[in-house]
Amino acid sequence: MEDIFEVYGERLSSRLLVGTAGYPSPVVLADAIDASGAGVVTVGLRRTLASGGDNGFLAGLVGRLTARGVRLLPNTAGCRTAVEAVSLARMARELYGTHWIKLEVTGDEYTLQPDPWQLLAAAETLVAEGFAVFPYATDDLVLCQRLFDAGCQVLMPWGAPIGSGQGLLNPWALRTLRERLPQAVLVVDAGLGSPVHAAQAMELGFDAVLLNSAIAHAGDPVGMARAFGQVVAGARAGYRAGVMAPQAMAVASTPVFGQPMLEG
């Protein structure tokens, strides 16, 4: 069967979502996005506004992405309250002409952990205003259930603190989210450091992964972007094919019991 990845009624070409921050140059960024094959690219609205609406490369990049059918996903990174995040989301809709928004509301300066109360409040407001909300959350089951009930069809729990590269620190919690929220589109967002981490997320049954630092800070960002794109696609195919169940003891690939033996 065809493996369709549909988000808020739109089909996406890839299950890899990438960010645009921290690259060594605009050229490397553009080449890395192309190499990744990503279907969605995120951009920090605060960074855009701080540079007068154009941070040096986004104007041309947005046109290039649109021509390739890649969706732009503005985010509210840097916000500390629901009021602030909602205001920024409204500005993003006007600036980029999209109702898609990655909702981020930071509650702790050390871990950059999302504030669950402010995040939920902002999500409820934005959903009521017609936004397609992609909330960046922790792997807390109750919070994710509340966000889904509020109308967030996509949930984006972290694998580890953002930019840490530690991978999936709590696979049990992520597996529980997949089991308890079968109708939600689940995207592991933040903390991934290598393609192996992305494969682990896909093998848990997650629909996609979003990452930035793992590519932007790699020795070869373009090569790493290509690797992530290949691994995400391969791991998804493997998950759908059905991974064999682990066994407690060795199981011979070629059975020998009951077979004739040659004795020397």
Q: Which of 87, 11, 88, 12 is nearest to 48 (CA)?
A: 88
Number of folded domains that form the chain: 1
Nearest residue to 46 via CA among 75, 18, 26: 75
Please state the pTM of the whole predicted model.
0.88
Residue 261 lies in a domain: no
Nearest to 29 by CA among 47, 52, 6: 47
257/206 Cα distance (integer angstroms): 40
Task: List binding-site positions for 1-deoxy-D-xylulose 5-phosphate.
Answer: 163, 190-191, 212-213
Shortest CA distance to 152 belongs to which of 144, 164, 160?
144
The answer to whether position 246 is within a domain reads no
CATH number at residue 207: 3.20.20.70
**Does 250 fall in a domain?**
no
> What distance in Å separates the CA atoms of residue 5 and residue 235, rounded to the nearest whole number?
14
Range of the domain at 135: 15-240
| pLDDT by residue, tens only, the chain of 264 residues | 778 899 999 999 899 999 988 899 888 988 999 999 998 999 887 766 665 555 555 667 777 777 777 889 999 999 999 999 999 999 999 988 899 999 999 998 888 899 999 999 999 999 999 999 999 999 999 999 999 999 999 999 999 999 899 999 999 999 999 999 999 999 999 999 999 999 999 999 999 999 999 999 999 999 999 999 999 999 999 999 988 888 888 887 776 666 665 555
Q: Please tell me the distance from the alpha carbon of residue 144 to that of residue 19, in angstroms, as a whole number.
A: 22
Catalytic residue among 102, 197, 226, 236: 102
Annotated active-site residue 102? The verdict is yes
